[in-house]
Amino acid sequence: MESGRIFFDPSYNGNVVFLGNGDSVYRGARMAMNMEETSKRRPFFSSPEELYDEEYYDEQLPEKKRRLTLEQVHLLEKSFETENKLEPDRKTQLAKKLGLQPRQVAVWFQNRRARWKTKQLERDYDKLKSSYDSLSSSYDSILKENEKLKAEVFSLTEKLQGKEAAVEKSDPVLVDAPADSPAQLILNVEDRLSSGSDGSSAVDDQEGPQLVDSGDSYFPNNYLGCVAAGVGGIQSEEDDGSDDGGSYLSNMLVVAEKQEEEEGELLGWHIWSTLDN
């Protein structure tokens, strides 16, 4: 506390008021003048009427910090709910009504705003945290789903490669096909399917006719290239009997089908990029 000119102001709750170097007249520190007198302190939560009791102040001064009564706080709270800023008129009226100094009312509002701000920060923090937790958990489940799909693609790819080897062994025509042309492999299979060749073929038995259509190839060249290069397992999804109903891969095929009509060029890329992610 800084030093300054001390005087007694009976209207200020009987406190000693200090005229210091503050920004305004009542911006001073209260001084505890004679601590012995504090033993005669007035009880807390005294009524506003008591606060105006001059006889009381004559005997009890100086005072220490004093809490407001429940009624005073209640009224201040109600006023704060209406408007948390205090215009001069309202401040004066409230002060009169409560038997307080306008400065006390202003200070109460200031402290109340600070408390409100703290609570608000806590609320905001809680909101952000629960939002983060929720996002974090969906992110985790998406990651898991991604891993699962990758594993699925891997196993289907392996199966397809096994079938390719089987077809090569049983069909000499395919042996003559260029080794770097997996698309040719599938086209040959398609031919076999459409010509009604022996139904003992593994492909014929298990591949869904909805994907390897009879007649002209279902797949555009680029798409076939992609499939033969490793994603062809799409067809084999049903091999496992795993019926995820409307599965990710099946849905993709629907998308692919639509896109094929529009621009076959992009199809392969689409499938690849979707699977890769």
Partner DNA sequence: TTGTGTTTTATTGCCTCC
Partner DNA sequence: GGAGGCAATAAAACACAA
Write down the least CB distance from residue 149 to DNA, Å.
49
- In the three-class reduction of DSSP (H, G, I as helix; E, B as strand; rest coil), residue 69 is classed as coil
Query: Is residue 2 close enough to count as binding DNA by CB under 7 A?
Result: yes
For residue 138, what are its two tokens? 């969906």
110 interacts with DNA by CB under 7 A:
yes
10 binds DNA (CB under 7 A): no
Smaller CB distance to DNA: residue 17 or 193? 17
SS3 5: strand
Site size toward DNA (CB under 7 A) is: 42
In angstroms, the CA 19 to CA 6 distance is 6
**95 binding DNA? (CB under 7 A):** no
Single out the segment in contact with DNA by CB under 7 A; choices: 37-45, 141-149, 171-179, 241-249: 37-45
Kindly state whether residue 24 participates in binding DNA, applying the rule CB under 7 A: yes
Task: Provide the token pair at 147.
Answer: 């891993």
Phi and psi angles of residue 18, each rounded to the nearest 5 degrees, phi first: -115, 130
**In whole angstroms, what is the distance from residue 60 CA to residue 146 CA?**
77
Based on the shown chain and the rule CB under 7 A, indicate whether residue 104 belongs to the binding site for DNA: yes
Residue nearer to DNA on the CB measure, 64 or 148 = 64
CA dist., res. 265 & res. 22, Å (int)? 78
- Closest separation between CB of residue 136 and DNA, Å? 29
Residues 6+ apart with CB under 8 A from 242: none
Sole window of 27-35, 161-169, 189-197, 201-209 interacting with DNA (rule: CB under 7 A)? 27-35
**Residue 149 buriedness (CB in 10 A; 0-12 / 13-18 / 19+):** middle
136 binding DNA? (CB under 7 A) = no
Phi and psi at residue 17, to the nearest 5°: -115, 145
Residue among 11, 27, 150, 155 that touches DNA (CB under 7 A): 27
Binding site for DNA (CB under 7 A): 1-2, 13, 15, 17-18, 20-24, 26-30, 32, 38, 41, 44-45, 64-68, 73, 85-86, 88, 103-104, 106-111, 113-115, 117
